[in-house]
Amino acid sequence: MTRDDDTPEITPLAGAIPARHGIVAVSDLRARSLTVKEQGGRLISLWGSDERATTGGYHLQVALSDSDGLLWLSVPLPSLAYPALEDIFPNAARMQRTLHDLLGLHPEGARDLRPWVRHGAWSAHDFPLRKDFVPPCPAGRLEDYPFVAVTGQGVHEIPVGPVHAGIIEPGHFRFAVVGERVLRLEERLGYTHKGLEKRAEGMDLDTLMRLAGRVSGDSTVAFSWATAMAAESILALKPPPRALWIRALLLERERIAQHLGDLGYLCNDAGLAAGFSQFWILREEWLRTQQQIFGHRLLMDQITVGGVEHDLYPDGAVEMTAELGRVELRVRQLDDMLQEHAGVQDRFLSTGRVKPDMAARFGMIGLAGRASAQAWDLRVQFPSVPYDHCDVRMATQSSGDVAARVRVRFEEIHESVRLLRHFLVRMPHSALQTHCPPGCKGSGAGWVEGWRGEVFVALQLDAGGKVQRWHPVDPSTTNWPLVEQAIMGNIVPDFPLINKSFNLSYSGQDL
């Protein structure tokens, strides 16, 4: 790929990841996006910022991934309009709708401008991410959402949600079916909007770190590390070696915890209660170890700007090493059990398939992408410390069905076990914290391979070191539209199984 680092408007960002940032004209946006797409790149996120106090207008922000790493483009807008990108990057469609709801920026040429996160909590004339917006504001009118209608002989609709049985998060799913066969699924999300980006404005970095760990509770390490990485980029701060190795240890423990839980739920949805019980016993023991060693079952508030909060106590490494042996053996036994269970394999094989060409078109990422032959893992392509010492083995499959996503989870558990052993044996001795200098103005980015996929964070600090703009991105943002593709042609009763094989976050993509 032709590098653009040396052009006047694009410059490298300091930090742990290969990243560039710069200003481009709105007239050049589509051409640059097309170049990235044609050379195999993809869209990570699209958001906006209110810069009226400094530049007199709004900026469109676009994060792209290319062969050189991360490319963050800031696009000053002379008006509220910008050219839509959904024809280049299909995953831009919902991002554009979100941006319209929150900041009032209009994507010219977009095919869909229905509200995405605005469910009547504010009016169509209020935009929460504008600096002059003062909450609370009068609620808007709750409008009927115009779902796409599917007509034809024998076609009927099944509405599911937004409130579901159990304690899962809310989301509305509108199925168009003939008999039990699904012709089309349309999702409507946005029921968990929390106003996190608005809440972050004006925060100091310590408070922001607590907020970052609560974007999506099952990915607290990934979001915390990505936010710390972005802040450290701005501050030109390098954490001590031991702190970086402990961060990676926490991230791999988070990955294993979630895979164990999801494999249990997949057993449950396939009717294998024994598998559900065994996986959740393993997960509960895993979480109790985390509580004992780090003081929190889900590892919240472990990562700080410049380091980590807790070290391993003297016997912690010994206890974790013994635990890894037990988990590895039990997971292999459970894997054999599932492979030999005809009923489970009948439910998994060929169900919920996302073909590689569809996955590539939508920029599918994370474990779900790797199950559809998308060989992308930040720990492999752009490894930061300590992954650059580990030669991470990427787990990939090509069939793109539930079975493939299950297989990727098993392989990732075993690889994470190997990585954890490596960390525990070779972890360097050093301090846990680097002194955090006084705040300074600037922009920084964080990029971490969480258990679902890459977590991206963009951060802008003002002259006082307070948050001007913080934008975290969960991989679910990109992958939710692929659930709509995966269910087509399958039967309605298989939807819980397909949905769980992705296990995307409702709240993580709904800031």
Q: What is the pLDDT of residues 290-335, one digit of tens each?
A: 999 999 999 999 999 999 999 998 899 999 999 999 999 999 999 9
Exposure of 199 by Cβ count < 10 A (0-12 exposed, 13-18 middle, 19+ buried)? middle
Share of the chain above pLDDT 70, in %: 98
If pLDDT is split at 50, 70 and 90, which confidence band does 363 have? Answer: very high
| Confidence (pLDDT) at 218 | 93
| Confidence (pLDDT) at 5 | 45
Quick one: three-class SS letters along 267-325? HHHCCCHHHHHHHHHHHHHHHHHHHHHHCCCCCCCCEECCEECCCCCCCHHHHHHHHHH
Q: Does domain 10-108 have CATH number 3.30.460.80?
A: yes
Residues 6 or more apart from 235 whose CB is under 8 A from it? 305, 436, 437, 439, 440
| Confidence (pLDDT) at 486 | 96
Q: 10-108 and 196-304+316-502 share one CATH topology?
A: no
Alpha-carbon gap, residue 21 to 473, rounded angstroms: 17
Q: Would you say residue 7 has pLDDT above 70?
A: no
| Confidence (pLDDT) at 139 | 72
Exposure of 158 by Cβ count < 10 A (0-12 exposed, 13-18 middle, 19+ buried)? middle
Going from N- to C-terminal start, the domains of the chain cover 10-108, 155-188, 196-304+316-502
- Look up the CATH superfamily of 196-304+316-502: Cytochrome-c3 Hydrogenase, chain B (1.10.645.10)
Q: Would you say residue 339 has pLDDT above 90?
A: yes
Average pLDDT over residues 406-420: 98
